[in-house]
Each structure stands twice: as structure tokens, then as C-alpha cells.
């Protein structure tokens, strides 16, 4: 448990699944708000910093481009169809690798696990992802272990959430792990999330 102010960085990209990033954004933003903004800063980032079109057409304006964000205490890698393009984008992969090398937590939501798998972070490890993506992720890992019945998997620094709404569960878990049960319960109560 700590009271140090943490920076939460959420990666956005074309065809990102909306709740994959919006769920964690809500959890960490509410935690920040309820602390009087003393615990967390939450920022969004995309490759160029320009508008991205999320799944089903939602347009989102990120706070920053990759080059302007060089540190994250908590790095969030959402999923969506766009994760297939991200595993082929070496600039994005290098940026994730750089930030995750010093992050307290690097987490994926849903098919964002593809990206962690491509980077080798899930080799020989247990992971959670969307029910329709397990086979994709297994092909990207060396001896990865699918935790098909888990809402999320906490490996310490690397964490993975199952499909879409499970990102909220993992985000609340991280809030409790870093800031304590009382902070987590206050956040969940405000969100009316059971």
C-alpha cells in the first residue's frame, strides 16, 4: 500500500474496444477524484495523439502522442480488433516495452493480451483474455497457459483481464493492491459496482 501519486497511462488505437479502455478509465478516474486527485493522474495516449475511432465508431481524442509519454506506473493495454494491427506496429511495441520495463503494473484487457503475448510477457505464464481470443494468444506465446475460467490473472507486474467488463474487475483489484481495501471499496461504491 502506498500514497505516492501514480500515473495511469491508457493506450488507445483504431478499433479499440470501448469498455476495454473506458472501464479502467472510470475506475482509476473515480479513485483519483475521490482522493482529491492526490493518488492518481490518468492520461490517454495514441501513436500520433490524433483522434482515434474506437469500435463501432466512437471518436476519442487522446491526451498525448506516444513520444510525449515516457513513464507509467500503471500501463493499460486494451483490446479490440485493432490489437491485431498493434502486434505488427514496432513503434508501438517498442514504446510498450520501454514503459513496462519501469511500470509497477502493465495490464491488458480482453484481446490486449495479444500485445503482451507478442512481447513475450506471457511465455510460460497463465493469462486471461476474451473467450474468442484464447487460441490467438496461445499461438503468440511459447507455452502460455490459458486461464479460461478466470476474470483476471495477477502475475505481479504483468496482469491480464478476460473479456471487456473484466477490465473493471482487474482495475479495482489494482486499486486495492496499491492503495488498500478502503480506497477500492469507496471507488466501487461510487460506481455502484458490485
Residue 185 lies in a domain: yes
Mean predicted confidence (pLDDT) in 143-153 = 96
For the stretch 89-120, pLDDT in tens is: 999 999 999 999 999 999 999 999 999 999 99
Residue 145 lies in a domain: yes
What is each CA distance from 25 to 21, 28, 34, 142, in whole angstroms? Answer: 6, 5, 14, 31
Split into its structural domains, the chain has a count of 1
H or E stretch including 166? Answer: helix 166-179
Residue 1 lies in a domain: no
Residue 73 lies in a domain: yes
Residues with Cβ within 8 Å of 147's Cβ and at least 6 positions away in sequence, in order, are 126, 127, 128, 153
* Burial class of 20 by CB neighbour count within 10 A (0 to 12, 13 to 18, 19+): buried
CATH number at 27 reads 3.40.50.880
Query: What's residue 4's pLDDT?
Result: 82
Residue 79's domain spans which residues?
6-190
Quick one: pLDDT band at residue 2, thresholds 50, 70, 90? low
Residue 15 lies in a domain: yes
Residue 142 lies in a domain: yes
* Helix residue spans in 11-133 (DSSP H): 18-34, 83-86, 90-100, 113-118
For residues 12 and 62, is the Cβ–Cβ distance under 8 A? yes
For the stretch 63-72, pLDDT in tens is: 999 999 999 9
> What are the beta bridge partners of residue 126?
145
Quote the pTM value. Answer: 0.96
Mean predicted confidence (pLDDT) in 49-60 = 97
Residue 90 lies in a domain: yes
* Burial class of 24 by CB neighbour count within 10 A (0 to 12, 13 to 18, 19+): buried
Amino acid at each position: 500500500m502506498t500514497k505516492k501519486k501514480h500515473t495511469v497511462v491508457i493506450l488507445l488505437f483504431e478499433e479499440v474496444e470501448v469498455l476495454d479502455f473506458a472501464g479502467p478509465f472510470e475506475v482509476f478516474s473515480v479513485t483519483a477524484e475521490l482522493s482529491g486527485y492526490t493518488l492518481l493522474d490518468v492520461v490517454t495516449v495514441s501513436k500520433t495523439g490524433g483522434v482515434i475511432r474506437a469500435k463501432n465508431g466512437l471518436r476519442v481524442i487522446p491526451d498525448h502522442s506516444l513520444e510525449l509519454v515516457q513513464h507509467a506506473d500503471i500501463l493499460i493495454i486494451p483490446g479490440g480488433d485493432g490489437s491485431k494491427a498493434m502486434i505488427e506496429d514496432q513503434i508501438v511495441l517498442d514504446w510498450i516495452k520501454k514503459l513496462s520495463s519501469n511500470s509497477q503494473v502493465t495490464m491488458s484487457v480482453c484481446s490486449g493480451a495479444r500485445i503482451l503475448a507478442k512481447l513475450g510477457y506471457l511465455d510460460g505464464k497463465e493469462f486471461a483474455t476474451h473467450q474468442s481470443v484464447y487460441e490467438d494468444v496461445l499461438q503468440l506465446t511459447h507455452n502460455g497457459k490459458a486461464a479460461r475460467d478466470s476474470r483476471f490473472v495477477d502475475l505481479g507486474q504483468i496482469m491480464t483481464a478476460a473479456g471487456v467488463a473484466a477490465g473493471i474487475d482487474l482495475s479495482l483489484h489494482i486499486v486495492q493492491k496499491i492503495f488498500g481495501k478502503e480506497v477500492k471499496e469507496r471507488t466501487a461504491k461510487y460506481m455502484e459496482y458490485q
